Homo-oligomer: A and B are copies of this chain.
Amino acid sequence: MTTEQEVREVAGRARVAAAELAPFTRAEKDAALYAMADALVAASASILAANERDLAAGREAGLASGMLDRLALSEARIEGMAQGLRDVAALPDPIGEVVRGYTLPNGLEVRQIRVPLGVIGIIYEARPNVTVDAAGLCVKSGNAVLLRGSASAHHSNVALVAVLSEAAAKAGLPADAIQLVPGVDRESVTHLMRARGLVDVIIPRGGAGLIRNVVENSIVPVIETGAGNCHVYVDAAADLEMATAITLNSKVQRPSVCNAAETLLVHASVAPSFLPVVAAALHEAGVTLHVDSASAGFVAAGDLTVPATDADWETEYNSLDLAVRVVDTVDDAVAHIRRWGSGHTEAIVSGDVRAVRRFSSRLDSAAVMVNASTRFTDGGEFGFGAEIGISTQKLHARGPMGLPEMTSTTYLVTGDGHVRQ
């Protein structure tokens, strides 16, 4: 078989599995999730052996230590993944929820009901825990899943999917509900993205290059995730102590993730008092500041202070770097964010109700934080219990995606012989 035939064959079986899985009850799905969790722990030795093959290959290929760490499994990490499955089992089942329901004047009863999407393709990079997370969320939401991890985690993913799908099948789920997409080259990704009619949605999780490739080439609908060029705007009416704490937290608490701040915008009226203080605190934390000409005068010179160019405004550093710009008005802050931002999360620090209203109503982002850190845009922090990613597109789901975002709806309309006049 060609790679195309292999991918389409696997997708076709996922499609059949999705049809079987859709009417499963919560009790049936949760039993499978608990069984999958137990099976992972029981199979730790073989999973770790497979993981060691990936790690050895990674070391030989000279993978950076950060990458190797993300790739590495351990007894504790396997227990963590198993606990994640149990946590998903404890969440409410989104399927069957009546989203809207009413009776029309003619007596027809209209119910809009949550149903699974069908077959979800997940294309992701190194971390093997995504394999388990995604499989658990898809089972819970009644979807069949096609997992396409990176080549560097291939042996780990093969081992994990074998354990998960076998445990799910033993618990009564369709055996093809959880499958790995065959092939580790680009071709298999391409064919997955062309499998319209077999695959209902593709969710890419990874770096900007991966996401751009999927968005531009997929004819299967895509939910775009991940890219985050987030801003903190410190208004004229900001509590400056609060502003320092929020800026620091947004930047340094975990700089590698999409909801970390990348640019600080400061109202000109508070720049002289605020910038020296926040810059010192950021420098202290090891942050390099990329400053525009208006802020340069308020920021101590040195190795950690460099001039900003336009490239800085659009860069998602994902590192201990922060662009800094002085703006004259709330509207200038909004204009900067609309021009350079990625539409993920923007924070305003202000005690002025009118400034907050203007800022929040004129942006075009998935989330706006008022007097809070950008780092709160997260399914866990929002109380979703689980998250498949953070959507930065506007269709279907925007912001953190939990179980309800992994569903579609159908209308069930009940009459008593109703015909249209």
Give residues in A with beta carbon < 8 Å to B: 19, 22-23, 102, 104, 108, 110, 112, 115, 117-118, 196, 200-201, 215-216, 219, 221-223, 239, 242, 245-246, 248-249, 253, 338, 360-373, 375-377, 381-383, 393-396, 398-400, 408-420
Q: How many copies altogether? A: 2
Contact assessment for B361 and A246 in the assembled complex, using a CB-CB cutoff below 8 Å: no
Taking CB atoms, residues of chain B closer than 8 Å to A367 are 410-413
Taking CB atoms, residues of chain B closer than 8 Å to A196 are 215-216
Contact assessment for A395 and B23 in the assembled complex, using a CB-CB cutoff below 8 Å: no
- In the complex, which of the residues B23, B242, B375, B413 contacts A420, with contact meaning CB atoms closer than 8 Å? B375
The 10 A-B residue pairs whose C-beta atoms are closest, nearest first, are: A372-B415, A249-B419, A394-B408, A396-B396, A372-B418, A242-B417, A367-B411, A375-B420, A370-B414, A395-B396
Contact assessment for B368 and A413 in the assembled complex, using a CB-CB cutoff below 8 Å: yes
Question: What distance in Å separates the Cβ of A339 from its nearest Cβ neighbour in chain B?
Answer: 11
Contact assessment for A372 and B411 in the assembled complex, using a CB-CB cutoff below 8 Å: no
- The binding surface of chain A is classed by DSSP as mixed
**Most chain B CB within a 10 A radius of its CB, from A118, A196, A219, A395:** A395
Contact assessment for A413 and B215 in the assembled complex, using a CB-CB cutoff below 8 Å: no
Expressed in whole angstroms, the Cα–Cα distance for A375 and B418 within the complex equals 10
Taking CB atoms, residues of chain B closer than 8 Å to A411 are 366-368, 377, 382, 398-400
Expressed in whole angstroms, the Cα–Cα distance for A110 and B368 within the complex equals 10
Question: What distance in Å separates the Cβ of A308 from its nearest Cβ neighbour in chain B?
Answer: 23
Taking CB atoms, residues of chain B closer than 8 Å to A19 are 338, 362, 364
Contact assessment for A22 and B361 in the assembled complex, using a CB-CB cutoff below 8 Å: yes
Question: What distance in Å separates the Cβ of A207 from its nearest Cβ neighbour in chain B?
Answer: 19
Expressed in whole angstroms, the Cα–Cα distance for A248 and B102 within the complex equals 27
- In the complex, which of the residues B112, B201, B239, B249 contacts A395, with contact meaning CB atoms closer than 8 Å? B201
Contact assessment for A376 and B420 in the assembled complex, using a CB-CB cutoff below 8 Å: yes
Taking CB atoms, residues of chain B closer than 8 Å to A413 are 367-370, 372, 376-377
Taking CB atoms, residues of chain B closer than 8 Å to A381 are 104, 108, 420
- Of all chain B residues, the one with the shortest Cβ separation from A107 is B372
Contact assessment for A253 and B396 in the assembled complex, using a CB-CB cutoff below 8 Å: no
Contact assessment for B414 and A371 in the assembled complex, using a CB-CB cutoff below 8 Å: yes
Taking CB atoms, residues of chain B closer than 8 Å to A108 are 372, 376, 381
Question: What distance in Å separates the Cβ of A399 from its nearest Cβ neighbour in chain B?
Answer: 5
A398-B394 contact in complex given A19-B364, A221-B221, A420-B375, C-beta closer than 8 Å: no
Question: What distance in Å separates the Cβ of A259 from its nearest Cβ neighbour in chain B?
Answer: 9
